[in-house]
Amino acid sequence: MTLVQIIQSALKSGNVIIGYKESLNFIKINSPKMVIMAKNIPESMREDIEHNAKLAKTEIKIFNGSSKELGVICGKSFPISTIVIKK
């Protein structure tokens, strides 16, 4: 299954958190299945997400596209830097 298919499947099932702040808060409190970040996410945001995801022992994937492209895949008209897929 490709990363795009994983994202679309999670969106259909509703098991997804969209956005940097919401994702970071979810990772700190829960142990998600996977974290997906856009390729062009700012370095400081990437470090925060990676640090907390490692503490939660969560798989991290980098989407090979921009935050605008990730937003389009999610059916949004705005850029999305981070997505969390819940267990």
- Which helix H or strand E contains 61, and what residues bound it? strand 59-63
Query: How much is the pTM?
Result: 0.93
Give the total number of structural domains in the chain: 1
Phi, psi torsion values for 53, nearest 5 degrees: -65, -40
Q: What pLDDT digit, counting tens, does each position of 3-42 carry? A: 999 999 999 999 999 999 999 999 999 989 999 999 999 9
Structure tokens at 78: 């705005």
Q: What pLDDT digit, counting tens, does each position of 36-59 carry? A: 999 999 999 999 999 999 999 999
The sign of the torsion formed by the CA atoms of 76, 79, 9, 58 equals negative
By CB neighbour count within 10 A (0-12 exposed, 13-18 middle, 19+ buried), where does 15 fall? middle
Phi, psi torsion values for 16, nearest 5 degrees: -140, 145
How far is CA 80 from each of CA 17, 51, 74, rounded to the nearest angstrom? 11, 19, 8
CATH of residue 37's domain is 3.30.1330.30
- Domain range for residue 46? 3-85
